[in-house]
Structure 1
Amino acid sequence: MYAVVKTGGKQYRVEVGNKLKVETLSVAVGDEFFLDKVLMVADGESISTGNPLLEKAKVNATVLSHGRHDKVRIFKMRRRKHYQKHQGHRQNYTEIQITGISA
């Protein structure tokens, strides 16, 4: 059984036991919460999709940790113009583990 959920502007295909790094959520470490923006649930051969969301479907998840990704380095340059620009960025994330899917 798997589901497709939407969180942080992105869509993820999740199964029970999966660990994901999603956009930062304001939930404390160790707490359990629900992802209620479920787009699709598949159980074997039966697939149910929403328009755009499934109404009574929920995905249970537990917060494992909060952190920051590795630095992404951005380098812009225009040749022969003496223009160089260096930037860096670290995105925050919340690591979650999927504990249950209910359709």
Structure 2
Amino acid sequence: MIMFAVVKTGGKQYKVSEGDVVIIERLEGSAGDTITLDHVLMLGDGKDLKVGTPTLEGTVVTAEIIEQGRGDKVIVFKKKRRHNYRRKRGHRQDLTVLRVKAIGAGSAKKAASTGASKSEAKKPAAKKAAPKKAE
């Protein structure tokens, strides 16, 4: 069976397998960049199923950004009859197209509110010892 994972990003959940192309809400990065989605909620391979509480620690989905784009325009039209009230608004969502490369264990560093982390990690600064006083 094919291994699959359920990941959470952009406030939505997506079921993905290796090689899948997924359109999700915008993530930072440009075409060709590799990102890791670390909010994995469930992992399965046909006979074995792991469910996180709420996420599976140490499990990540690695994906490559294919393109950054925008979705179709959605028209929001409000009207109240007999009150001369009409409002027309449009919205186009920023989207990211991803190709899932791998599902499995990995070390994921959390990024700010996107649910994704970059491959490069920052090391914490070492504490310096206080200088000794001369007597």
Normalised by the length of structure 2, the TM-score is 0.73
**Structure 1, residues 21-68: CA drift from partner, whole Å, max 9, x if none?**
111111121011111110000011110011101001111100000011
Give the secondary-structure state (helix, strand or coil) at the position aligned to 1:97. Answer: strand
Structure 1 gap segments, 5+ residues each: none
Gapped regions of structure 2 (runs ≥ 5): 106-135
Match of 2:59 among 53, 57, 60: 57
Q: Which one of the candidate residues 93, 96, 99 is aligned to 1:97?
A: 99
Take 1:76 and 1:33, find their aligned partners in 2: how far apart are those partners?
40
Residue aligning to 1:5: 7
SS of residue in 2 equivalent to 1:53: coil
Who wins on radius of gyration, i.e. which is larger?
Answer: 2
Asked which structure has the greater RCO (Cα within 8 Å, sep 6+), the reply is 1
**CA root-mean-square deviation:** 0.9
Pick from 14, 17, 34 the counterpart of residue 15 of structure 1: 17
Amino acid paired to 1:3: A
**Aligned residue pairs, count:** 103
- Corresponding residue of 1:82: 84
**2:36 maps to which of 34, 40, 57:** 34
How many angstroms apart in 1 are the aligned matches of 2:87 and 2:36? 42
* Structure 1 ranges of 4+ moved more than 2 A: none
Partner Cα distance (1:8, 1:73) in 2: 21
Q: Output the CA distance in 1 between the equivalents of 2:83 and 2:47.
A: 60
TM-score, normalised via structure 1 length: 0.95
Percent sequence identity is 46
